[in-house]
Structures are given as structure tokens and as C-alpha cells.
Amino acid sequence: MARSQIAAYLAQSDARRLNLGCGHNVLPGWLNVDLEGGRHGKTFMNALRPFPLPDASIDAILCEHLIEHVPAEGGVFLLKEAFRVLKPGGVIRVITPDLEGLARMCVQAPNDAERRYLDFVAQLHKRPSIEPSDALNYIFYEYGHRHIYSVARLRAVLDEAGFKDISESRAGAPSNPAFIGAEGHPAFMGAENDAIEAFALEAVKPER
């Protein structure tokens, strides 16, 4: 079923865009893949196994809040598969919690935006208030997370996979037009909170 859905998408789509680990964020015109595929417009795919996609078949990949849910070695595999299936000149955007930013709140007084983020996390966990260290521990030990990245570490993994022109931004603020309006977390937690919690790296598969 999944392979036939993927084949049908590739056959009918000129701009082929892969929403990797889409969750509830099912995007029109994208190939939305997830472990919970088979319903609500999602196609089953396990990102820790070889992607059932031909080499150089995809123009853009959105990987929003997925890579932190797999072990570090799984993240390396995932990005190498993403590189394989992207066309030369294709782009990827990876959004994930910001280890350094969250840790910084634990050693410096949170600013107003960070306090609003902490209020959101407290509300999410039905607590009257939390400390920055609580938010950091939630990122490590809740939500099914397995590995939390610094910008430098994720940049190194993308580079190891073969990507070039790696640029940093905040969650919800893409620079490549392919990703504008595509992310789902801003609707869930608010754009400001999402930008406090997570960073993004965009990268390109070289033409050669």
C-alpha cells in the first residue's frame, strides 16, 4: 500500500516535496510520511530504514521535530537517506529543539519571551509555574525524545551526509520559499514559543 501511494505521488507531482515524520501536519501537495501512516492523508514510512524512494527523486524535504525522536546514529542514517533521495540542488529544512538556547536559560535570567515560553510549558504540563531547568529536563526526558542537538552538532551531521550551504534560522522562520507556511508546530504552541524552543538548519544537495 505505502509503495503504491508513493509511486502515485511521484507520478502525478511536478514539485516533489517530502514531509518526513509529518505527525498531524498533513500538507497539501506534499508526500506526508509517518510511522502512523495509512490514514488522514499520511503514508507509512519508517525513517530508520532505507526510504522507499528512488535516488534523486525529491525536490524538498521538511524534517520538523523528528530527528530528536531517534537515537544519534539514527539521525545520521536519516540525513544520509534524505541526501540520497533529494535531487541535485534539492533542499532540506531540519527543525529540532535548541540544546544551547534551553541550557542558556538555566544559567542566565530568562527574558520576557523566554518567560512566556516557560508559562506555556507549565500550562502544557498542568503546573502553576516551572523553572528553566524543568523545561530543559522535559526536552530530554519527555515527548519521546532520544537525542537533543546543538547547532554545531546538527551542522556537522548534515555536512557528513554531504549537504552544503548550511544556514541557520529559528523554527517557523524559513528562508527557502519551499518551506514557507509548511511547519506545524507554530500552530500548536505559538510562533514565538516555537522559535524560543527550536532552531532550524536549511541545507542544499550540491549539483555535483
CATH code of 76's domain? 3.40.50.150
* pLDDT above 90: residue 38: no
Residue 22 inside a domain? The answer is yes
Residue 119 inside a domain? The answer is no
Give the pLDDT score at 37: 76
Please, which pLDDT band fits residue 117 given cuts at 50, 70 and 90? Answer: very high
Give the pLDDT score at 39: 72
Please, which pLDDT band fits residue 115 given cuts at 50, 70 and 90? Answer: very high
Residue 103 inside a domain? The answer is no
| Average pLDDT, integer, range 107-131 | 97
Residue 140 inside a domain? The answer is no
Give the pLDDT score at 208: 80
| Average pLDDT, integer, range 180-203 | 97
Domain interval for residue 31: 2-97+145-184+199-204
Residue 16 inside a domain? The answer is yes
Give the pLDDT score at 98: 98
The alpha carbon torsion through 139, 92, 14, 45 (nearest 10 deg) reads -50
Rg (CA), the chain: 17
* Cα 167 to Cα 201: distance, rounded to the nearest angstrom: 5
Residue 189 inside a domain? The answer is no
Residue 125 inside a domain? The answer is no
Average pLDDT of the chain?
Answer: 96
Query: pLDDT of 78-104, one tens digit each?
Result: 999 999 999 999 999 999 999 999 999
* Cα 162 to Cα 79: distance, rounded to the nearest angstrom: 9
Give the pLDDT score at 15: 93
Query: pLDDT of 127-154, one tens digit each?
Result: 999 999 999 999 999 999 999 999 999 9
* pLDDT above 90: residue 41: no
Terminus-to-terminus CA distance in the chain, angstroms?
A: 34
Residue 75 inside a domain? The answer is yes
Q: Provide the number of structural domains found in the chain.
A: 1
Give the pLDDT score at 68: 98
